[in-house]
Chain A
């Protein structure tokens, strides 16, 4: 077992633990903090897979932007202590059933399927340079991502306008 494998396993186990904590904790501010830990562990997995730019984007946008937005809104909507819900047991049973069935089905498919090329991380270098990322984002040829890139910019513009309209005082 080399260092990369060890790092991957550590990050994976931490991600699972913090995911469980995210949805089981009662205080929503703690849920946001655990979510931050999950996202950082995911960025660590990207780094072990040699996708350094992707890991950096994950930390910048997710951990730096989205989680801060969550903390902001949690403080703005001051939490009333939750009154224990009435139909919680029935909905919990149904949810547990659905999740167990889904996990069983999906893990059956994943574990019985024979992948032809299964080595994900070995000693080879896979990293994509930032220069290549930029070239592919603006290239209209096969494998280029010009159209989705433009669509994303339109989407972000629409998001800005919608945010202004929703937040406006009536």
Chain B
């Protein structure tokens, strides 16, 4: 039998690994990958609480579905922006991104 604490600890560890990666990485693509880890951890929590709280309505289940769709949209836009950055600056490190437009 699996208790909810196991899954919450797993998602807690995954979330903070993502936060640590987001704070320490310098490449924008690597930061985006860390954001994926954080979103994945949040999805796990939604599903776990769906099982515990909502027996009939499945709100957490659908929020995970919607969250996956939103993640796909967010990734597509972010990667478009990063490729645009690479086109103009030839670099994708965050420390070169001090100017927004010129």
Interface size classification for chain A: 35 or more
What is the distance, in angstroms, from B51's C-beta to the closest C-beta of chain A? Answer: 6
Interface string of B36-47 (1 = CB under 8 A from A): 110010011001
Complex CA distance for A20 and B10, rounded to whole angstroms:
12
Interface residue SS majority, chain B: helix
A61 in contact with B72 (CB, 8 Å): yes
Chain B residue contacts of A5, Cβ below 8 A: 1-2
Which residues between 1 and 18 of chain A lie within 8 Å of chain B, taking CB atoms?
A: 4-5, 8, 12, 15-16
B68 in contact with A155 (CB, 8 Å): no
B17 in contact with A23 (CB, 8 Å): yes
Chain B residue contacts of A106, Cβ below 8 A: 12, 16
Chain A residue contacts of B8, Cβ below 8 A: 110
Does B97 count as interface, using CB distance less than 8 angstroms? Answer: no
What is the distance, in angstroms, from A49's C-beta to the closest C-beta of chain B? Answer: 7
Does A125 count as interface, using CB distance less than 8 angstroms? Answer: no
What is the distance, in angstroms, from B44's C-beta to the closest C-beta of chain A? Answer: 7
Out of B57, B73, B92, which one reaches A156, CB within 8 Å? B73
Binding site for A on B (CB under 8 A): 1-10, 12-14, 16-21, 23-27, 29-30, 32-34, 36-37, 40, 43-44, 47-48, 51-52, 56-59, 61-62, 64-66, 68-73, 75-77, 79-84, 86, 91-93, 95
A-B contact pairs, 30 of them (CB 8 A): A8-B2, A16-B10, A19-B14, A19-B18, A19-B37, A22-B34, A23-B21, A23-B34, A35-B36, A45-B7, A54-B47, A62-B71, A73-B29, A74-B29, A77-B82, A77-B86, A77-B92, A92-B24, A95-B23, A102-B19, A106-B12, A121-B1, A143-B59, A156-B73, A159-B73, A162-B80, A163-B76, A163-B77, A166-B77, A166-B84
